[in-house]
Chain A
Amino acid sequence: MQALVATDIRKAFGSLEVLRGVSLRANKGDVIAIIGGSGSGKSTFLRCLNLLEVPDAGSLWLNGITLDFNRSGPAGGTTPKAKAELRRRLGMVFQSFNLWTHMSALDNIIAGPIHVLGQDRKEARAIGLDLLDRVGLADKADAFPAQLSGGQQQRVAIARALAMRPEALLFDEPTSALDPELVGEVLKVIQGLAAEGRTMILVTHEMAFARDVATHVMFFHDGRVEEEGRPDLIFSNPGSERCRSFLKKFL
């Protein structure tokens, strides 16, 4: 069953063409790893999926809503309502966590459910505490981000995304800003989510992790998908020379 489909997404910043027609199809439960060199457009593509960047062309489909950026008009003819709905239904985890520093861990998690989903505070708190427990931070509900390690902050950020009950989760290099010894605890949480059958799109440089967890791998180069397929095939026998030499740097 399809969960998220992006078709021929294009995006330029001024004269710099960052995405030159990228398509993605995620079925429910898919874990899609996006790999590729720095500047190849991975982050921009992920940001286009939840409209932190508005694509210049292409379309997005998320179970029941379609956003078509090919039509003219403001923001490609998409309504603000459709944009808000798409964002609400997709979770995003950033490289630099981006927790709200003036809120406790629990408040970070329940702000969206209360104000966007309209949950009542009591219910949101119960769910939030449950999620903190799931990411191994049951004792940190009242801690502020500044009092948490990077790995802990990222796990709170994951809980914050989960609290919105997203249909798919987007991760942009979730472990790249972490000290090496903290990477494992975050990857473990993501692995757990994959095992639950969550739909996830994951930009990562953790190749071993991508190989173990992903159901599909996309290799980006220069704003295009140069190669994609099953992880065992991509990692053991990449078809393109570029992908081969890129992977060599990691293995």
Chain B
Amino acid sequence: MDLGILAWGDTGWGDELARGVLTTVAIASAAYLVGAALGTLLAAMKLSGTPAMNVPAAVYTTTMRGIPEMLVIYLVFFGGGALSSWIASSVLGIHDRVDLPSFAVGVVCIALSVAAYACEVIRGAVLAVPGGQIEAAEAVGMTRSQRNRLVVAPQAFRMALPGMTNVWQFALKDTALVSIIGVTEVMRTASIGSDATKQPFTFYFAALVIFIVIAYLSQRLFVRLQASADRGVRWGS
């Protein structure tokens, strides 16, 4: 194992891998934030109690959690690309092939599945807010939105955090899948490097270390967030 090929600059792959890390973290973070927002919306729909809202939300989450992530990526990237080309040629009269931007597609696809998982986590957390505390909010005359903002949301946030930490780990791992549509994140960089140098072990081991480090650092961030959300609420915090 020659670690020299992982050096920074023209001679090594260190800078390429670092760029891969940035791409991986950027995709995962963007997908996570978009997905969490979408998941909150879906959870609100599911909790609304009106069939027109919760049926579509339930269909969405069940579908998204039931199909492979890879299928979503192929469908959006290749299917979406073909559809766009067809629309371009038949509606707009442009006969060039339309390629969707792979980074954006990657973010969207991972966000779509993050949303489905986040929805369940958030919904569970909202339902776990004690009913008595909600009644206490009503009893002081809070409006529905005040009650949600001041009483439900902060507590649901705290209770959703462990589950949302898991969702983050999924999002992070799922970024490897978008290498198939040509996004040069960590996985694809490692693969290119391995092909070019014929040193697969070095590159995939480096990728492994990179994922562990990202996972470890982000885990620490979530632990901190949890500790601050738990402040005073749980014993020993």
Which A residues fall within an 8 A CB radius of B? 50, 52, 84-85, 87-88, 90-92, 94, 96-102, 104, 111-112, 115-116, 143-144, 146-147, 157, 160-161, 164
Contacts and interface: CB of A to CB of B under 8 A. Distances in A.
Nearest to A107: B150
25 contacts: A84-B143, A85-B141, A87-B138, A87-B141, A88-B140, A90-B139, A92-B139, A94-B135, A98-B130, A98-B133, A100-B133, A100-B136, A100-B155, A101-B130, A102-B232, A111-B140, A112-B142, A115-B150, A116-B141, A144-B233, A146-B233, A146-B234, A146-B235, A147-B232, A160-B136
B157 to A, nearest CB: 9
Contact of A102 (B146, B154, B235): B154
Question: How many residues of B sit at the interface, in one of the four size bands?
Answer: 20 to 34
B126 to A, nearest CB: 14
Contact of A144 (B130, B154, B232): B232
Given A98-B130, A101-B233, A115 B135 contact: no
Nearest to B231: A144
B167 to A, nearest CB: 22
A164 B141 contact: yes
B46 interface: no
Contacts, number: 74
A11 to B, nearest CB: 16
A84 B141 contact: yes
Nearest to B142: A116
Nearest to A160: B140
Contacts of A104: 232
Given A111-B150, A115-B142, A115-B150, A94 B232 contact: no
A100 to B, nearest CB: 5
B112 to A, nearest CB: 31
Nearest to A101: B233
Contact of A100 (B146, B151, B234): B151
Contacts of B150: 100, 111, 115
Contacts of B143: 84
Interface in B140-179: 140-143, 146, 150-151, 154-155, 158
A157 B138 CA distance: 14
A116 B132 contact: no
Given A99-B133, A101-B233, 13 more contacts: A52-B139, A87-B140, A94-B132, A98-B132, A98-B136, A100-B150, A112-B141, A112-B142, A116-B140, A144-B231, A144-B232, A157-B136, A161-B140
Contacts of A111: 140, 150
Contact of B133 (A87, A101, A112, A144): A101
A102 B233 contact: yes
A96 B154 CA distance: 21
B31 to A, nearest CB: 29
Contacts of B235: 146
A87 B154 contact: no
B32 to A, nearest CB: 24
A84 to B, nearest CB: 6
In order of increasing CB-CB distance, the 3 nearest A-B pairs are A144-B232, A88-B141, A112-B140
A52 B138 contact: yes
A147 B130 CA distance: 18
A101 B155 contact: yes
Contacts of B135: 52, 94, 98
Contact of B132 (A96, A144, A147): A96
A205 to B, nearest CB: 19
B139 A87 contact: yes
B13 to A, nearest CB: 48
A102 B139 contact: no
A109 to B, nearest CB: 10
Max chain A Cβ within 10 angstroms of own Cβ: one of B132, B133, B143: B133
A160 B143 CA distance: 17
A99 B136 contact: yes
Contacts of A87: 138-141
Contacts of B146: 115-116
A160 B235 CA distance: 23
B143 to A, nearest CB: 7
Contacts of A147: 232
Contacts of A50: 139
Max chain A Cβ within 10 angstroms of own Cβ: one of B130, B137, B139, B231: B139
